[in-house]
Structures are given as structure tokens and as C-alpha cells.
Structure 1
Amino acid sequence: MIKVLLADDQRLVRGALSAMLGLEGDITVVAEVGSGEEAVEAALRTRPDVALLDVQMPGRDGLEAAAELRSVLPSCRVVICTTFGRPGYLARALAAGAAGFIVKDAPPEHLVDAVRRVHAGLRVVDPELAAESLASGVSPLTDREREVLRAASDGRTVAEVARGLRLSEGTVRNHLSSAMRKTGAGTRAEAVLLAENRGWL
């Protein structure tokens, strides 16, 4: 049996995925959780063969959880299963050690096939997303620029971002300006939007 862990913050999605995988004779769902933190804890407890992780979850996201699982439980293979089929997410998922990346609107049999293939040691990536990822390239943003953009994404002022990140206001302005230049944005709100759409945040 292939032991699978499911991590998605939407209970309905989790339940549907669990029910679908439960119909397969060679797959059993050993844990269902709603956050990246819970995913790592549950994986250490249940020792799954494959972890299906959503990208956007509260607290630690699926990409961070994938990187931690690679470190603490390397025998567990990760498949990112997300609504957000963005090239930047794919690049970050692969860098975090994920063995698969599929979008939730793929046919159900693709998900089941991905679990089996990843368990067998193969890599599974949505072909259209892979082509788009190659075309758009890797994120030009530094880790600090990403952090500052994320902090500014909810409309906080430069002073508020600076206080929250314990940086000077000048440093925050420099990072925002650099991120705007790299994304080709005219405003920081546009830079946030462009970076989010490309999966760079």
C-alpha cells in the first residue's frame, strides 16, 4: 500500500481528495491536515510514502513544508497539488525538493497516476506549466525583496513594513524600488500583483 498524507486548508477539498484516493486498492490516506505545520508533524507520526501538499495554507505554506519534509523525512516524496498553477510556484516547489506538481483542475486519474509515479521514484510535472515555467524564467527577486513585498501586500506603509521587519525605512524603500524595477511595475501594489501572479511570492 502507498501511504498518503493530505494537507489542504479547505476541508471540502481534503475530503474529496481523500475519498477519491480511498477508492484505489493500492493507496491509503494516513493523515489529513490543514496547514504546513500540521503536515510535518503528521508526517513524522504516520511516516507516509507520499505527501500531497497545497501551496497556500495558513502559517507555513506547502512549499516551506516540502523543504522541511525533505530535511526531516527524506523517504517521503512530495507532490504539490494546487489551484495556483504558476511558473514561479513550480520553480520554488522543485527547489524545495518536491517530486511532483499538479493543478487541482487536472482529471482525477492524473492525481492518482502522479501519486503512483512519484512513489515509484519518478518526477511528475504538469506539461503545460513546465513549458510556461521555462518561458517565464526564474524569479529575479531576492529573498529580502520577496519578504518586503509580502509585508507590503496588505497596504501597510513603508514605516509599518520597516517596523515589522526591523529594517530602516530607507532599506524598505530600496527593496520596494528594486522589486518594482524587476517586475516592470509602476507601483508597489502592481509589483505585488505581478509577483503573485507569477508565483514569486
Structure 2
Amino acid sequence: MTTIYLAEDQEMLNTALKTILNLEDNFEVIGSSLTGAAALQEILQLAPDVAILDIEMPDMTGLEIAAQLRILKRPVKIVILTTFAKESYFQQALSSEVNAYLLKDSPSEVLIQSVNRVLAGDTIFSPELVRSVLKAEKNPLTKREMEILKVIQTGANTAQIAQQVFLSEGTVRNYISSILSKTATKSRIEAINVAMANGWLG
């Protein structure tokens, strides 16, 4: 019997996945959580064969849980579920040596097959996710522009930005104009949203 732990913060999806997995003769969901910190603690206690982890959860992300499990050298197979095709997430998944990286809206059969395949030693990355990551917009902003955008993200005005990055207000305004131009946006908030959507801000 393959023991599975499930961490998913959407309660309805959590319940649905547990039901689907428990219908398989060789699967048993031995625990589940709606938050990341609780999931890590219970995975360490229960030692399941497979941990299925959502990326974005309260307290800890699925990728942070994966990294901790690898640091602690736990033999659990890790399956990441995501709706996000961020390059930064994909790189974290690779560095944490996850066993599978799948889209949440994949058919349930894909998840079941993937669990069986990772148990057999395979590593699986959703082709749709890989294509999305490869197509993701490359960051056109310079290192200095990114520095300024990160300060903008804190809510700082032009004078405060200038003070923090040790530039004149006029130079900061020029950089902001360049940021808006490169991101094809009309406001600082829109520029931040574009950067966040493409994973440029981490």
C-alpha cells in the first residue's frame, strides 16, 4: 500500500483529491493539511511514501516544504501541483529535486499515473508547464531598473526612491519612464503587476 500525504489550501479541492486518491486500491491518504507549516510537521511525523504539495499555501509554500524535506534527507517522493507557470518556481522545483511538477487542472488520471511513475523512479514535468515557462516573457529591465521597481513596490514616492538608491529625482523619473516603456504600462502599479505576473520580482 502506497501512503500519501496531501497539502492543498483549497478545502474543496483537498477533499476531492483525497477521495480520488483513496479510490485507488494501492493508495491510502494518511494525512492532509490546508497550510504549509502543518503539512511539513505532519509529513515528518507520518513519513508517507508520497507527498502531494500545492505551491502556494499559508505559512509555507510547497516548494519550501520540498526544500526542507531534501535538506533533512527524507526519502519521500514529492509531487508539486500548481496553477502557476513562473520560471522562478520551476527553478526552485528543479533545485529541490521534486519528482513531479504538474498542473492542477490535469485530469485525475494524470495525477494517479504520475504517483505510480515517481514510485517507479521516474521524474515528471508537465509538458504544458515546461512550454509555458519557456515562453515566459524575458525580463527586459536592467539591474538598476529592477532595483528601482522593487523600491516602488514598497509604496515609496519619487523623492524616497531617489534617497534609497542614491540618485537624483530627475534620474529616478527617467528610470521610471524607461520601466513603463519596457513593460508597456501607464502606471507604476501596472508595471509592478506585469513584473509580478512574469516572476521578475521573485
Same fold (TM over 0.5): yes
Q: Distance in 1 between matches of 2:22 and 2:34?
A: 19
Change (3 A) 1:43 1:129: same
Structure 1 unaligned segments of length 5 or more: list them. Answer: 163-167
Counterpart mapping for 1:85-164 below 5 A = 85-136=85-136, 149=150, 152=153, 156-158=154-156
Change (3 A) 1:58 1:139: farther
Deviations 1:3-60, CA, capped at 9 Å, x for gaps: 1110011111111000000010111111101122111101111001111111111121
Contact 2:7 2:35 in 1 (8 A): yes
Equivalent AA in structure 1 for residue 90 of structure 2: L
Partner residue of 1:170?
Answer: 164
How many residues of Structure 1 are paired with residues of Structure 2 in the alignment?
A: 186
Partner residue of 1:165?
Answer: none
Q: TM-score, normalised by structure 1?
A: 0.75
- Which is greater in Rg? 2
Deviations 1:60-112, CA, capped at 9 Å, x for gaps: 11111111111124301111112224444223222222111111111110000
Q: TM-score, normalised by structure 2?
A: 0.75
Contact 1:86 1:199 in 2 (8 A): yes
Equivalent AA in structure 2 for residue 65 of structure 1: I
SS in 2 for 1:6: strand
Is residue 52 from structure 1 mapped to residue 46 from structure 2 by the alignment?
no
Equivalent AA in structure 2 for residue 157 of structure 1: G
Change (3 A) 1:59 1:171: farther
Equivalent AA in structure 2 for residue 104 of structure 1: K
Change (3 A) 1:85 1:134: closer
SS in 1 for 2:56: coil
Q: Distance in 2 between matches of 1:150 and 1:8?
A: 32
Q: Distance in 1 between matches of 2:34 and 2:138?
A: 29
Change (3 A) 1:172 1:4: farther
Q: Distance in 1 between matches of 2:18 and 2:34?
A: 13
Computed over aligned residues only, the root mean square deviation of the Cα atoms, in angstroms, reads 3.5
Contact 1:3 1:48 in 2 (8 A): yes
Change (3 A) 1:4 1:150: farther
Contact 1:87 1:130 in 2 (8 A): no
Contact 1:2 1:27 in 2 (8 A): yes
Is residue 69 from structure 1 mapped to residue 63 from structure 2 by the alignment?
no
Deviation at 1:136, TM superposition (A): 3.6
Identity of aligned residues (%): 32
SS in 1 for 2:75: coil
Structure 2 unaligned segments of length 5 or more: list them. Answer: none
Q: Distance in 1 between matches of 2:139 and 2:51?
A: 26
Change (3 A) 1:157 1:115: same
Equivalent AA in structure 1 for residue 123 of structure 2: R
